[in-house]
Amino acid sequence: ERAHRAQGRAIVSCVSSGTPGRDDEVRQLTPAQIEALIEAFADAACRAADAGLDGVELHGAHGYLLCQFLRADLNTRTDGWGGDLPGRARLLRRVMQTIRQQVPASFVVGVRLSAENGTFLTGLDLDESLQTAQWLCDDGADFIHVSLWDAHLNCSKRADVHPARVFRDALPEAVPVITAGQIWTRAHAHQQLDHGADAVALGRAAITTPNWPQQVVRDGKEPLMPPVSAQQLRDRDLSETFVTYMKRWPGFVHTDDGGRPAK
């Protein structure tokens, strides 16, 4: 309701992150479990629509389950749910198609993708990611969110071009392209638009500066840049669990007593 009062839209992430388990008991999902998982994603999207939210974003990046299926080095299944790109993209496409069949046409369904290999991601190829994004647009994706560890860098595979431009040129004009990754300032955001992005997404910048659109874009002020103190995060209503999590990001949180970055 607060988002709607501010003339915004409320779109939540739709992700299967699993629960902590024993890595010596890893096994493949059975085809029946995959079908149940697809329905679980659709059920989650329907609940979001029923709750009055405006959309969901399928998280197919960062090593989450949908991303694991896309990775050529991980997904070597031979049952139609892996192997070649159509097989590896099948789960994500089926999730998109099933959600689209069950939610209102006005309900936004987007996808977040990792474009290439990254800090801890392997098995991803830029051209395959582009093809997957094109398929998802055919399946009804309302936007493609290209998640980058550093949005200021060009593609690894095509060093002369930025990922935003590659995706923008490859996808239908009606489907917005969003980029994310180390976007802190107004200038950073405008650089992404110049590269071809239609919008930017914020992570850590929105944590340190929750009113980023007003403070940075509208008023031209600087955001609170890291390193920040744990107390500054608490002042922004982060829980202790969340503060502890943010300390895992190198150089993001100072200790409260000496100004040294938390280890």
List the beta bridge partners of residue 11: 55
- How far apart, in whole angstroms, are the C-alpha atoms of residue 168 and residue 190? 15
**Omega before residue 223 within 30° of 0, cis:** no
By the 8 A CB rule, do 144 and 133 touch? yes
Nearest to 13 by CA among 51, 52, 60, 50: 60
64: annotated active-site residue: yes
Degrees to nearest 5, angle at CA 56 with 74 and 239: 85
> H or E stretch including 44?
helix 31-50
Residue 65 CA, distance from chain mean position: 13
The CA-based dihedral angle spanning residues 56, 59, 64, 66, taken in that order and rounded to the nearest 10 degrees:
90
Q: Which residue has the tokens 């496409």?
A: 93
Find the catalytic residue in 38, 61, 64, 142.
Answer: 64
* DSSP letter assigned to residue 28: P
The CA-based dihedral angle spanning residues 72, 13, 163, 158, taken in that order and rounded to the nearest 10 degrees:
-10
181-197: b (≥16 Cβ within 10 Å) or e = bebbbbebbebbeebbb
- How far apart, in whole angstroms, are the C-alpha atoms of residue 3 and residue 39? 28
Indicate which residues carry an active-site annotation.
Answer: 64
